[in-house]
């Protein structure tokens, strides 16, 4: 069985950060896991190097665009090589073969009638490389995705008939409920499609840094728009566009993306493939974002995490384990040194490292480092059954991207091993002249360590090689089949001494993130207070604040921040309030709760919807929380 696993191709407008590393670690672990099982596997990563943003970033750096792209692309590749990422190909969208493949796809779509020429006028966000209709903008100007101002652009463009594939996409989602993982993210995609798809601009004339449209079209002013160019990398990497190519690894088994680019991969990409008569990928997996100590990372705050810095301080294998264990796939995660140190000391050092050290010590003392599994089944049937049950659960977790559950389940083996040592006390058995029982317990734990190291190897490949070497076997498909699938035990062998795998970390090894808001001197604070826009009490009472009861809540399609609420203020009808709190509250959690509402605001239009009030909330470095009555009050009760 062939397996094809991809990361997104990373945009070369900046150095790799911890989010890039997270995506790549997941993909690498999945690729290693499939290879361990004996599947023929192809793992793709790379860089996205075209578009207006790259052209502008190069100009700011004072470098030719290609040179700028070369440097940033090399920084990604070098980092993945340092981290020993097991990719099979590192693709660049400036590669000649890729560009030829994209031109071939354009020709096929054009000949099919799925690409046509027209004029486009609309609001364009340079940061997101996306056009938005005015009804989707925030305050008629700002991008609904990133919040930055948009520019009105009018230019000639070629369009892809995205609207043609609306029904086919919805049908595919219904027939393949695991197409988007986690499943919880599928609804936002479905709702976007159900709201109506507009044809997609796929070329530009306002910049030149991109793939020219094919010479057969005879329109030299146009270059292909970044999403058509970028998304095609997944098939051009396999040879699409070449004569008589056999793309044996397509369709992809898993395509990993960040949640911010899910729409492009779950809507545009499958529509392009339908147009090209190519099969769709099996799964699109969308992961969340990472914060640092609860704070959103940004260059201005100085709290962006360099994965190289963390790896140099704590070890890349420890970083891999932490990131894949810390957060459920699809949810946002938080990086903190405290949490990383806790997992290193508790789970890696205590649970795993100490268990190996204890077995090495006891085998040296009781049997001159010789371990024989001949009596394990006789004395430890219960422990073997519990171990095999946990091992049998692992595949489902990995296939569903639940690496945190995979590692959580795998760690049950070390609990079984440590508990067996305490309960059966080999040192006591030796004193009681029950050497066979004592050595059976040592052999049980050695087998637990061997089987666990095989299944841990996709996550911590170098560490598990050390464990396997100590136990005198090799981690590969043969040992996977023998010890995991066939449930056999290790044969007679001599264990080796190894240095401690995970030395304890007593204090942070990196500088902490800077304070989000440094304390100001008292004099400065006083001066600010005197200059503040103070109001009279009468002005305050001009504001009508009321207790509201939320009777209905739903997400606003295409918006990362907005929820649409129906709020009872004790009036003849409910009020519709559009609130930017989606990052902190789910729609379901708000229904039936009470809030404080500014009730006499002039109605405003947000993303084409009327908002008839504003919720009171407090926000600081720990996030946002709604201001609520201490005790339930009647809807419409005045506040003041």
- DSSP H/E element including 257: strand 254-258
How many C-alpha atoms does 61 have within 13 Å on its Cβ side?
18
Distances (CA, A) of 466 to 34, 454, 493: 21, 11, 16
Give the contacts of 43 (CB within 8 A, at least 6 positions apart). 5, 6, 27, 28, 31, 86, 87, 88, 89
- Count of other CB atoms within 10 angstroms of residue 589: 11
Of 213, 244, 249, which Cα lies nearest the Cα of 234? 249
H runs (alpha helix) in 166-292:
166-175, 186-194, 226-231, 233-236, 262-263, 269-275
Rounded Cα distance between 329 and 280, Å, is: 22
Rounded Cα distance between 547 and 61, Å, is: 53
Distances (CA, A) of 249 to 35, 165, 540, 599: 14, 25, 66, 58
- DSSP H/E element including 90: strand 89-92
Annotated binding residue at 143? Answer: yes
Rounded Cα distance between 29 and 319, Å, is: 13
Backbone φ/ψ region at 536: left (φ over 0), alpha (ψ -120 to 50), beta: beta
- DSSP H/E element including 623: strand 623-626
H runs (alpha helix) in 306-434:
307-314, 316-326, 337-343, 354-367, 376-379, 381-399, 403-424, 426-431
- Count of other CB atoms within 10 angstroms of residue 121: 11
**Residues 552 and 591: beta-carbon distance below 8 Å:** yes
Annotated binding residue at 625? Answer: no
Burial of 560 per CB tally in 10 Å (0-12, 13-18, 19+): middle
- Count of other CB atoms within 10 angstroms of residue 463: 22
3-state secondary structure of 153: strand
- Lookup result for tokens 């000391």: 345
Annotated binding residue at 146? Answer: yes
DSSP secondary structure code for residue 477 in this structure: H
Show the tokens assigned to 314. 């704590």
Rounded Cα distance between 378 and 243, Å, is: 62
**Residues 546 and 614: beta-carbon distance below 8 Å:** no
**Residues 281 and 32: beta-carbon distance below 8 Å:** no
Annotated binding residue at 128? Answer: yes
CA 566-568-572 angle, 5° bins: 110
Rounded Cα distance between 144 and 561, Å, is: 8
Rounded Cα distance between 505 and 319, Å, is: 13
Rounded Cα distance between 442 and 358, Å, is: 9
3-state secondary structure of 138: strand
Detail the residues annotated as belonging to a binding site for Zn(2+): 125, 128, 143, 146
Detail the residues annotated as belonging to a binding site: 125, 128, 143, 146
């Amino acid at each position: 069985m062939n397996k094809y696993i991809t990361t997104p191709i990373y945009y070369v407008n900046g150095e790799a950060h911890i989010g890039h590393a997270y995506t790549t670690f997941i993909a690498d672990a999945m690729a290693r896991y499939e290879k361990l099982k004996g599947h023929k596997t192809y793992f793709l990563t790379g860089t996205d190097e075209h578009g207006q943003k790259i052209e502008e970033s190069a100009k700011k750096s004072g470098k030719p665009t290609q040179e700028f792209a070369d440097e940033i692309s090399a920084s990604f590749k070098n980092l993945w090589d340092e981290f020993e990422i097991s990719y099979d190909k590192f693709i660049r969208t400036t590669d000649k073969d890729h560009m030829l493949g994209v031109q071939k796809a354009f020709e096929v779509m054009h000949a099919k009638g799925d690409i046509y020429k027209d004029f486009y006028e609309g609001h364009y966000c340079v940061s997101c490389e996306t056009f938005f209709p005015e009804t989707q903008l925030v305050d008629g100007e700002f991008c609904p995705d990133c919040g930055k101002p948009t520019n009105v652009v009018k230019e000639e463009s070629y369009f892809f008939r995205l609207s043609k594939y609306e029904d086919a996409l919805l049908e595919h989602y219904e027939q393949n409920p695991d197409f988007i993982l986690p499943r919880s993210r599928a609804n936002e995609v479905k709702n976007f499609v159900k709201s109506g798809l507009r044809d997609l601009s796929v070329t530009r004339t306002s910049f030149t840094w991109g793939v020219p449209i094919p010479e057969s079209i005879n329109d030299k002013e146009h270059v292909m728009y970044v999403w058509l160019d970028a998304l095609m990398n997944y098939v051009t990497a396999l040879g699409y566009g070449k004569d008589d190519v056999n793309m044996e690894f397509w369709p992809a088994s898993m395509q990993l993306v960040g949640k911010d680019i899910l729409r492009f991969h779950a809507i545009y990409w499958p529509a392009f493939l339908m147009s090209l008569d190519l099969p769709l990928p099996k799964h699109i997996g969308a992961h969340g974002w990472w914060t640092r100590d609860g704070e959103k990372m940004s260059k201005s705050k100085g709290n962006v995490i360099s994965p190289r810095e963390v790896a140099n301080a704590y070890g890349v294998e420890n970083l891999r384990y932490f990131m894949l264990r810390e957060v459920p796939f699809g949810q946002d995660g938080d990086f903190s040194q405290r949490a990383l140190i806790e997992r290193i000391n508790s789970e890696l050092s205590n649970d795993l490292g100490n268990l190996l050290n204890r077995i090495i010590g006891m085998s040296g003392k009781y049997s001159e480092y010789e371990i024989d599994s001949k009596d394990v089944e006789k004395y430890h049937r219960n422990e073997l059954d519990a171990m095999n049950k946990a091992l049998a659960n692992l595949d489902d977790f990995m296939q569903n991207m639940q690496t945190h559950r995979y590692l959580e389940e795998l760690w049950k083996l070390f609990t079984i091993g440590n508990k067996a040592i305490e309960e059966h006390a080999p040192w006591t058995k030796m004193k009681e002249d029950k050497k066979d029982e004592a050595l059976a317990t040592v052999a049980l734990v050695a087998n637990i360590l061997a089987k666990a190291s095989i299944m841990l190897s996709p996550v911590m490949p170098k560490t598990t090689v050390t464990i396997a070497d100590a136990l005198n076997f090799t981690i590969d498909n043969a040992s996977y089949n023998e010890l995991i699938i066939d449930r056999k035990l290790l044969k007679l062998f001599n264990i080796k001494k190894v240095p401690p795998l995970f030395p304890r970390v007593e204090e942070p090894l990196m500088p902490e993130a800077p304070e989000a808001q440094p304390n100001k001197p008292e004099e400065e604070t006083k001066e600010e207070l005197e200059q503040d826009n103070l109001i009279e009490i009468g002005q305050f009472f001009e504001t009508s604040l009321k207790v509201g009861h939320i009777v209905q809540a739903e997400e606003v399609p295409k918006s990362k921040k907005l929820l649409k609420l129906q709020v009872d203020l004790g009036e003849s009808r409910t009020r519709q309030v559009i609130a930017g709190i989606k990052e902190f509250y789910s729609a379901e959690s708000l229904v039936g709760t009470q809030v404080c509402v500014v009730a006499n605001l002039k109605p405003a239009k947000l993303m084409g919807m009327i908002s008839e009030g504003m919720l009171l909330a407090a926000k600081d470095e720990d996030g946002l929380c709604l201001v609520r009555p201490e005790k339930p009050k009647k809807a419409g009760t005045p506040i003041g």
